Chain A
Amino acid sequence: MIRVSAQIQEVARRAVEYEAGLGERGGARIGGALLVCDKLRRHLTPLIGALGYGALMARTLGSLKRENGWAEEIVSGVNGALEMVQLPWSGRSGEEGSPDPEELPARLLGFLATLIGEVIVLKLVHEVWPEVHGVPSDKREAMR
């Protein structure tokens, strides 16, 4: 069980929202979630290595797939890069469909926070999305 704090959940939601643009459809949101994960992969790989990131993502995805059928359509490479097999949610809105795309980056960040602490994780997220409102932008906020 990966524990995700409310703050991490909110940060993930905003990052997905940001990457998905104005799209509210399920496809746009899952696309946003995949983009968030890809940006995190690029940012984290120099830090923890491709294999390190790949192991994190495999664990995250495994956890997600056990509870969310839609995640079965996502596969992860050795380096943690994600690919979609198909888009089963295409044409459905986020509200009516079961996909909850921000759950993917939220669990990834939650898992990371379990290992290295939320302060460092939030800092890392801020380095990727400094412009995203709600992502802690200063030290005091990160410490809160």
Chain B
Amino acid sequence: MKNQTGSEGSEDSEHVEGSHRKVVIRTIPTGVEGLDEILGGGVPEFSLNLIAGLPGSGKTTLAHQIVFANATEERPVIYFTVLGEPLLKMLRYQQQYTFFDPLKVGTAVKFVNLSDLLLEGDLEALYGEITKQVEAIQPRVIVVDSFRTLVGGEFGDEPASSMQLFIHRLCHFLTSWEATTFMVGEYGMEDIHGSAVFTIADGLIWLWQVAERNSVVRKLQVLKLRGHSSVPGLHTIRISNDGIQAFSRTLGLVGKKVPMGMGRRLSMGIPELDKMLGGGIREGDSVLIAGPSGTGKSALATQFIAEGVRVGEPGIMAIFEERPEGYLQRAGTFGLDLKDAAHSGMVETLYLRPLDLSVDETMREMTEAIERVGAKRLVIDSLVGFEMALAPGFRADFRESLYRMIGALTGAGITIVSTVEVEDTFEGFPFSHYAISFLTDDIIRMRYVEIGGQLRKVMVVIKMRGGNHSKDIREYVVTDKGVVIIGPRRTDFTGLTSGLPRAVSGVVEVSPEPKEPSE
């Protein structure tokens, strides 16, 4: 393939688009789960990037993760350390992470200490040492940690212009060496207008650590990335023994298209309810089951999963208020034996109860489980528990996060049934205190009504997006078979939605569930 100058070009690095030959910018992996997706595939090769943030935000850990993901003996990595965290301490602490491979130290990962030269205050010598090392080792990746210390140091009588020149020379040199460079620096947002490095850098990854009430929330933002489109916004990160893990705001599901059966209806496992739903739930819908405590929301959701098992559709139950064993046991009391299905991998129960979760992390748990079992059905029981499991800082964004999550999952072909507890006021008929009905395609409302001196239960399909559904208010009971709808719609009462209906005829009520103690 000839390029415009007539020389042979490598298809690996270039491609033809029309009559113009364009450079294909390849990427290198970060080694950070979820971050490559945020960066649009990885870090653009040969780019010069700044990893910025305040102390303790995870900058050095991120740099090390990138280093160990890319270092080989053939194409080593140079890690320049400057005044700041002593290398001995850095090695001591960083090797606690699982990504750290001590066998790479010295061969694939070469640490070079610049502190002595920095203390001597000789910029020329400093520049000379960096270039000497780079030329000798020909690294694939270069890290300067901390760049802020390097360019913010005292250099004897060197004027400020010399420092600016040094930064420019260094950045240009690093850029020209076909290495991907990461400069690590303790910067706050207030520094962004005061340093040339922000202009020169091709990529700018900012790490945040914010304490909110009793929780710490870590976030990452790609403020700038030349040559690639990254996912904008703040993304949650977590630092564990495995290093940093990033959770994209788009939840890793952007662009994922799952072929769905055209208008296929999924049974809820209750034939009468399926009829009320116009034949069942539309595949890929998000269903909200709203009702007060004890009305059978969890039973209904469990029946949805059990029906999936019956027809060979694996399911996930993300539960926030009960332990999985108890949940499965309770399902058993409804005649829904899900334990075998759990053992065979048809059903997986996710118990998500730590109190500092982000929606994005929860989503990752769910999507991984969905992929693991090939799930088509997902139950979230309940949204109230879900919200409580989030760190306080994330609760403020709960609706927005839920919107993204539901949109991403249903877009991937998953049918979601969520439960939400609402208080029956006997004055109104609220669907949810979250005002999230716009997030859901279908709403089933359950509630208590007082009839004949009993607190009975009724349900009604409030909404089915894009489909007709029954408007009947149907009475139901929760038995050892789960939720069972009984009788036709009630035409003998008005005001059922208020919970305090009035009889319109002199019908003698027969209790559907006699509860008198036996003699």
**Interface positions of A (Cβ within 8 A of B):** 45-52, 56, 112, 115-117, 119-120, 123-124, 127, 139, 142-143
Q: List B contacts of A123 (CB < 8 A).
A: 102-103, 105-107
Report how far A143 CA is from B86 CA in the complex, Å.
25
Closest CB-CB distance, A111 to chain B, in whole Å?
10
Check B95–A51 contact: CB distance below 8 A: no
Q: Would you call B365 an interface residue if the criterion is a C-beta within 8 Å of the partner chain's C-beta atoms?
A: no
Q: Would A119 and B102 be within 8 Å (CB), given that A46-B112, A47-B113 are in contact?
A: yes
Question: Does more than half of chain A's interface fall in helix, strand or loop, or is it mixed?
Answer: helix
With both chains docked as a complex, state the minimum distance between the C-beta of A140 and any C-beta of chain B, in angstroms: 10
Question: Could you tell me if B113 and A52 are in contact, using CB atoms closer than 8 angstroms?
Answer: yes
Closest residue of chain B to A111 (Cβ to Cβ) is B88
Is B170 close to A, CB under 8 A? no
Q: Give 12 CB contacts A-B under 8 Å.
A: A49-B81, A49-B113, A49-B115, A52-B88, A116-B91, A116-B95, A117-B95, A117-B102, A120-B91, A120-B102, A120-B105, A123-B107
Name which residue of chain B comes closest to A79, CB basis.
B116
Q: How many residues of B contact A (CB 8 A)?
A: 19
Q: Please encode chain B, from 80 to 114, with 1 for each CB lying within 8 Å of some chain A CB and 0 for all others.
A: 01000011110110010000001101110001110
Query: Nearest A residue to B95 by beta-carbon distance?
Result: A117
Chain A residue with minimal CB distance to B133?
A46
Q: Tell me the nearest residue of chain B to A43, going by C-beta.
A: B106
Point out the residues of chain B lying under 8 angstroms from A142, CB to CB.
103
B residues near A, CB below 8 A? 81, 86-89, 91-92, 95, 102-103, 105-107, 111-113, 115-116, 119
Please report the C-alpha to C-alpha distance between residue A143 and residue B102 in the assembled complex, in whole angstroms. Answer: 9
For B91, what are the chain A residues with a Cβ–Cβ distance below 8 Å?
Answer: 115-117, 120
Residues of B within 8 A of A116 (CB): 88, 91-92, 95
Given known A-B contacts A46-B112, A46-B113, A52 and B86 have beta carbons under 8 A apart: yes
Kindly provide the distance from the CB of A141 to the nearest chain B CB, expressed in whole angstroms: 11
Tell me the bound Cα distance from A58 to B401 in angstroms: 56
Given A116-B88, A116-B91; A45-B113 close (CB under 8 Å): yes
Interchain CA distance A138-B6 in the complex, whole Å: 48
Pick the residue among A115, A127, A139 that contacts B88 (CB under 8 A). Answer: A115
A139 x B103 contact (CB < 8 A)? yes
B105 to chain A, nearest CB (A): 5
8 cross-chain pairs, A with B, having the tightest CB-CB distances, nearest first: A49-B113, A119-B102, A49-B115, A116-B91, A120-B102, A50-B116, A48-B87, A120-B105
> Is the beta-carbon distance between A120 and B106 smaller than 8 angstroms?
yes
Contacts of B113 in A (CB 8 A): 45-49, 52
Give the nearest-CB partner of A118 in chain B.
B102
Complex alpha-carbon distance, A92 and B161, angstroms? 62
The one of A50, A51, A52, A115 that contacts B92, using a Cβ cutoff of 8 Å: A115
Complexed CA–CA distance, A127 and B102 (Å): 14
Q: Which of A45, A48, A123, A124 has the most CB of B within 10 A?
A: A48
Q: In the complex, A36→B113 CA distance in Å? A: 21
Q: Are B103 and A143 in contact (CB under 8 A)?
A: yes
Contacts of A112 in B (CB 8 A): 88
CB distance from A59 to the nearest CB of B (A): 11
Residues of A near B107 (CB, < 8 A) are 123
When C-beta atoms are compared, the residue in chain B nearest to A114 turns out to be B92
Let me know if A124 and B116 touch, CB within 8 A: no
- Bound complex: CA of A111 vs CA of B489, how far in Å? 82
**Complex Cα gap A142–B89 (Å):** 21
Q: Give A139 to B103 CA distance when docked, in angstroms.
A: 7
Residues A47 and B112 in contact, CB atoms below 8 Å apart: yes
How far does the Cβ of A55 sit from chain B's closest Cβ, in whole Å?
9
CA distance A50 to B116 in the complex (A): 7
**Which residues from A are CB-within-8-Å of B105?**
120, 123-124
Nearest chain A residue, comparing its CB with the CB of B113: A49
A10 to B43, CA, bound (A): 45
Q: Which residues of B contact A117 (CB under 8 A)?
A: 91-92, 95, 102
> Is the Cβ of A124 less than 8 Å from the Cβ of B115?
no
Most B CB within 10 A of own CB, among A45, A49, A120, A142: A49
Q: How far is the CA of A116 from the CA of B87 in the complex (A)?
A: 9
B87, A49: Cβ atoms closer than 8 Å = yes
Most B C-beta atoms less than 10 A away, residue of A56, A117, A124: A117
- B50–chain A nearest beta-carbon distance, Å: 24
